[in-house]
Amino acid sequence: MKVARYVGGGRIEIQDCAEPECPPGGLVVQASASGLCSGELMDWYLDQKSNPILGHEVCGTILESQDNRFPVGQPVFVHHHAPCLQCEMCFRRAYVHCRQWQSTRLVPGGMAERFALSRENLTDSFLIPELRDVDAALIEPLGCVAKSIQRARLCPGDRVAVIGLGSLGLAHALVVQKLGYEVIGYELRPDRRQWAQDRGIDARAPEQGERAEVIFVCPGHESALRFALEGAAPAARVVLFAPLPPGQPVAMDWCQLYFQDLEIVASYSCGPEDTREAAGWLRDGWRAADDLVSDFVALDELPEAYQKMKRGDLLKAMVQFT
């Protein structure tokens, strides 16, 4: 079967791979759709791994099952990381720090024609018969958005800013606006501003900045963080949705942070409560793929789409397998 593998230096290739076997108590899934995550564009992150197979924004149809809750032939959402729900970290909803969450994964990966997942992965997997596959493949990234918004602790009257209107920056803006808050999105690229404006978002260039009580920083760049701090109202919460590269300390005016009473909050990945909230948004009728995915491609077309997405020439690519 075919898979998309990162081969180093910011490049991916479509390669052949052995068929996965069903783990005890687990599943084998035929992929239907798999989104390309912006995190998979970060060379510094992928170069430290051993030529990984891409893909974790995925859904598919069950081919083999050793769990009666997941019948063969049913469409299913699966999370590549799933917590034990029994440890101290899980009780705190700190799922990303659960040892099981950190050790679980899809085999060989979600950007593959077929993949397997273990019994442990099923704590964050569920059937999705009522959803389009292109929307269901967005449950994991939208779960990350759900967690980010929850950690922001929105309050009545908060003005919200979203820095960066890539796919998930746009998702933040759309969801927060649906919740009834005033939202401004800031983006350097005119084409992305136009894409967001076409979907009802007040999208502006950075020089048109205003103060906000909640600011989501979606690009993993120091300049985006600095722009957020400059636009932070007193007692604002600044949410870091993406990591900055390691080993590159950011000098900050800690006196400013103290006397403005600012909070900086990180939001990494998501857990079962977040993915179920995201699935609820889709079940309520949001056709999220229409808003967040610009290019639907075949697996063989992914290497070209990957480079275009790295350059910013397309908003988001998603592979459709069937």
pLDDT digits (tens, 9 = 90+) for 259-312: 999 999 999 999 999 999 999 999 999 999 999 999 999 999 999 999 999 999
Q: Rounded CA gap, 299 and 2, in Å?
A: 8
Letter string b/e over residues 227-256, b meaning 16 or more CB atoms within 10 A of that residue's CB = bbbebbbeebbbbbbbebeeeeeeeeeeee
Over the Cα atoms of the chain, what is R_g? 19
What is 144-266's CATH superfamily?
A: NAD(P)-binding Rossmann-like Domain (3.40.50.720)
Three-state DSSP class for residue 42: coil
Is residue 212 within 8 A of residue 159, CB to CB? The reply is yes
- Reading the block at residue 258, the tokens are 């103290």
Q: Rounded CA gap, 95 and 13, in Å?
A: 32
DSSP single-letter state for residue 295: E
Q: What is the pTM of this model?
A: 0.96
Per residue of the chain (322 residues), give pLDDT as tens: 999 999 988 899 999 999 999 999 999 999 999 999 998 988 888 888 777 999 999 999 999 999 999 999 999 999 999 999 999 999 999 999 999 999 999 999 999 999 999 999 999 999 999 999 999 999 999 999 999 999 999 999 999 999 999 999 999 999 999 999 999 999 999 999 999 999 999 999 999 989 999 999 999 999 999 999 999 999 999 999 999 988 888 888 999 899 999 999 999 999 999 999 999 999 999 999 999 999 999 999 999 999 999 999 999 999 999 7
Q: Check: CATH 3.90.180.10 for 2-138+293-320?
A: yes
Tally of CA atoms within 13 A in the half-sphere of 291 that contains its CB: 23
Phi then psi dihedrals of residue 66, to 5 deg: -115, 30
| Residue whose structure tokens are 């990957």 | 306
DSSP single-letter state for residue 200: T
**DSSP conformation letters of 49-117:** SSSPBP--EEEEEEEEESSTTS-TT-EEEE-SS---SSSHHHHTT-GGGSHHHHH---BS-SSBSEEEE
- Reading the block at residue 132, the tokens are 């389009």
Q: Rounded CA gap, 277 and 256, in Å?
A: 35
**DSSP conformation letters of 59-70:** EEEEEEESSTTS
Is residue 239 within 8 A of residue 148, CB to CB? The reply is yes
The residues spanned by each domain of the chain are: 2-138+293-320, 144-266
- Reading the block at residue 4, the tokens are 């998309």
Cα–Cα nearest to 118, from 89, 81, 63: 81
Three-state DSSP class for residue 128: coil
